[in-house]
Structure 1
């Protein structure tokens, strides 16, 4: 998933570079162009914060698993009971919904409702910019919906976007969206705990190990128990994946923030830009 997040960062960086390359004077920027760029930037910052919150929560759950493994090393019945209690805490922690992550659904649907291609007149560069921002918005919103579905384990977070058939990339996008959504929904229908493969593996291990500890089976109860403990150590793969994902999301947050902030600063310092250019909506976005 971190590679996908890197791809989203590249899309946003490419838009920032395109804005610079086109050299469209800010005085010529249409309000609609600003709305498209700033609106998606602010909302995606909110989504990035939600993703970071969930990654932090999952990292906290990993600490519980580390405590479990430490207790199991003692081979003491008392320590085994504590390990059982910690596994129960892990199950409760991981099964709790993250309120911040829940905010992604309405934000994404709000972005979908505003998914349109503004008409541009008498500006060839403006047409290039608006079409590029439209394509970037489609790609980023969809990818974020996949992230939201994977992290929340909720298929409803997956979006089925409709785009203009006349666009040269429309058929490719539809093919990718159909394949990914079909596979994801099939996976969730099979009772998968989440869209994260490593977390699913840990959850399956906990489901095996917890009843053994609950019934006070010790390490001398057979190879099955020892294998379950060994499998739990694969949680390190989840930790590494979360670390990579956290860095990718952080990098994306920075590129979105710096791009939007730079644009607002340029708007405020440009000579001759009318006050109406900023508008109340842009002011509100700047405050957020």
Structure 2
């Protein structure tokens, strides 16, 4: 749990999560070891790919889209590992199943919160389109309407989404499950638990960064300490320190921290407002034309970014939901997981086991 005396830099210390899972002398067959190593090396590469060339890009919709895409790929890989392990549900420990269902419900809640925020921002984008439409006219009456729309957009963007606050409590809870259940006499179970540990670390990292970026607060960024014997540990620590450090630098600099695409729109609006409100002379008319053009480009980039990220979040939601459904089906039927299921429409609220 985060330390109350240091709210600006919560740190989660779990000791050695594999002390019970991979005790000294544990043996994995060459096949199982190769399966685990392949997964962990792929995860290490994904952590490396998360590190942006431009540090400020971490506060961008384009980086968030990449992060969610890598997260979806990794959760899909777990399904592949389960299939290749040929580990029937009857051999799953009840604790593994409980942790899986509990974590997946929490992640579904996070997805719903992110979707809510993306929808809120998209609705604000309608105000930009209205303003651009009115700015095409030369009437002072239309300029008043445009100015009102721009004011409305800025008020919407500066407001807070209460659903995001719950994300931080959920993320804190998710970190507590990283001290994995004990695995007895099951080499396949040890491989599965270690792979799932890596997935959960990536999930907490990505969701923590997105929650901080959406909420405009770095106070509750999660700093994880992971087992250094994992093949992806160095890559993870490198990207976590780099991204969390840069976000904290941006937020502590006194600058209003907006998503990069939102910042582009806000910059254009700041240039437009004085021209629209003070009236137009020959010089201002030419400036207005350029400012409107810039705002149009920024608004389009924002709209496209929101749409793409919303699809990625929905894709992650579907992966979680179908994974839960597959495990439920197999628990009832007593067969190996996963079982293909039809895509389920997104729902609001918690999915119930």
**TM-score for the superposition, normalised by structure 2:** 0.73
CA contact 1:219–1:226 (8 Å) conserved in 2: no
Q: 1:95 aligned to 2:151?
A: no
- CA drift at 1:193: 4.1
Alignment partners' CA distance in 2, 1:89 and 1:109: 34
Name the counterpart of 1:145.
208
Change (3 A) 1:266 1:114: same
Matches within 5 A, 1:177-192: 177-192=240-255
1:287 is paired with a residue whose SS is coil
Structure 2: segments with no counterpart, 5+ residues:
1-63, 336-349
Q: How does 1:41-80 map to 2 (within 5 A)?
A: 41-80=104-143
1:201/1:265 CA distance change after superposition, 3 Å? same
Shift of 1:218: 6.5
SS in 1 for 2:223: coil
Deviation sequence 1:224-278 (CA, Å, 0-9, x none): 433322211121011111111111111111111000111012112328xxxxxxx
Q: State yes or no: 1:287 paired with 2:336.
A: no
List aligned pairs for 1:148-227, cutoff 5 A: 148-194=211-257, 196-217=259-280, 221-227=284-290
Report what 1:134 is aligned to.
197
1:19 maps to which residue? 82
CA shift at 1:153, angstroms? Answer: 2.1
TM-score where L is the length of structure 1: 0.89
The alignment yields a C-alpha RMSD, in angstroms, of 1.9
Q: Is the contact between residue 84 and residue 214 of structure 1 (CA under 8 Å) also seen in structure 2?
A: yes
Partner secondary structure for residue 173 of structure 1: helix
Q: In structure 1, how many angstroms separate the alpha carbons of the residues matched to 2:94 and 2:101? A: 10
User: What is the SS of the residue equivalent to 2:236?
Assistant: helix
SS state of the match for residue 179, structure 2? coil
Cα 1:216–1:116, aligned 2, differ >3 Å: closer, same or farther? farther
Aligned to 2:50: none
Aligned residue for 2:227, secondary structure, equals coil
After superposition, the C-alpha distances for 1:200-242 in whole angstroms (9 at most, x for unaligned) are 1111222222233333456752544333222111210111111
Q: In the alignment, what sits opposite 1:243? A: 307
Which sections of structure 1, spanning at least 5 residues, go unmatched?
272-284
Any conservation in 2 of the 1:15–1:132 contact (CA below 8 Å)?
yes
1:107-153: per-residue Cα shift (whole Å, max 9, x none)?
Answer: 11111122213321200000000001111001111111111122222
Which piece of structure 1 moves more, 211-220 or 251-260?
Answer: 211-220
Aligned residues: 275
2:37 counterpart residue number: none
User: Secondary structure, in 3 states, of the residue corresponding to 1:115?
Assistant: coil
Structure with the largest fraction of helix: 1
Equivalent position SS for 2:219? helix
